[in-house]
Amino acid sequence: MTVDGYVSLLSPIAEGGQQFHLAYSCKDAYMLLLEFQQNDITPDIAFLDLNLPPYEEESIFSGIDVALLLRNNFPSCKLIVISMHKEPVWVDQIFKNINPEGFISKNDINYESFPIVYKSILNGERYISQSIVEAQNLFLKKNIQWDAFDSKILQLLSEGVKTRNLPTYIALSLSTIEKRKANIKRQIIFGDGSDKELLDAARKLGLF
């Protein structure tokens, strides 16, 4: 319903001959991108939700991984991330990994503003909605110094993924992940501590 709703909103302002290609899961998206490559098709713009059913066979676990495939294979394609997620940990990952042309919290947009945002991005502007700007600023205020891998580690830990299983989701060795986790703890709890202490401190800081 959500995808069809976007199509309904955009159809009246789409340029002549513009086609919509729909994907409802990471697997759908992966197959669609393969089709684009085989048929020499370059998408102009892509709307991505973060919460897509994963395609574990190809290690595509979310809309972030789909966005990275688009960025790497179709660099001219404009990326617009639309999500309920506005937690700073998610926002930090997306900016550092993808740097999208548009990043919108679903709470910040409605039926009237959505087509306006779409047109502005097509015209070369960049659009970041207010909630996303606030989440991004939180990292600056807290003077947190880490990269997208570190944000991903913290996000997965918050979702209950055990440290030993993190290499399944992140292209890093377990020893590297352990070192990065120690660095995160130094910044958030100012020393050693349990994962629970780390997550509790991160929640108090408003990171997720």
Render pLDDT for 57-103 as a digit per residue (tens, 0 to 9). Answer: 999 999 999 999 999 999 999 999 988 888 888 888 888 889 999 99
Where along the chain do its domains lie? 2-140, 145-204
Which neighbouring-strand residues pair with 104?
82
- How far apart CA 53 and CA 134 sit, in angstroms, is 28
Question: Three-state DSSP class for 146?
Answer: coil
- How far apart CA 70 and CA 30 sit, in angstroms, is 10
- How far apart CA 165 and CA 163 sit, in angstroms, is 5
Q: Cα–Cα distances in Å, from 20 out to 6, 13, 17, 43, 60?
A: 10, 12, 10, 9, 22
CATH fold of 2-140, please? Rossmann fold (3.40.50)
Over residues 162-190, the pLDDT tens digits come to: 999 999 999 899 999 999 999 888 888 87
Res 17 pLDDT > 80: no
Looking at domain 145-204, which CATH architecture does it have? Orthogonal Bundle (1.10)
- The mean pLDDT of the chain is 88
pLDDT for the residue 168:
92
| Helix residue ranges per DSSP H, 18-87 | 26-38, 63-73
Q: Which two tokens stand for residue 120?
A: 């502005």
Q: Cα–Cα distances in Å, from 79 out to 14, 63, 101, 202?
A: 16, 11, 5, 29
Q: Which two tokens stand for residue 113?
A: 């503003």
Q: What is the pTM of this model?
A: 0.75
User: How would residue 38 be classed by pLDDT, with cut points 50, 70 and 90?
Assistant: very high
Q: Which two tokens stand for residue 104?
A: 């919108």
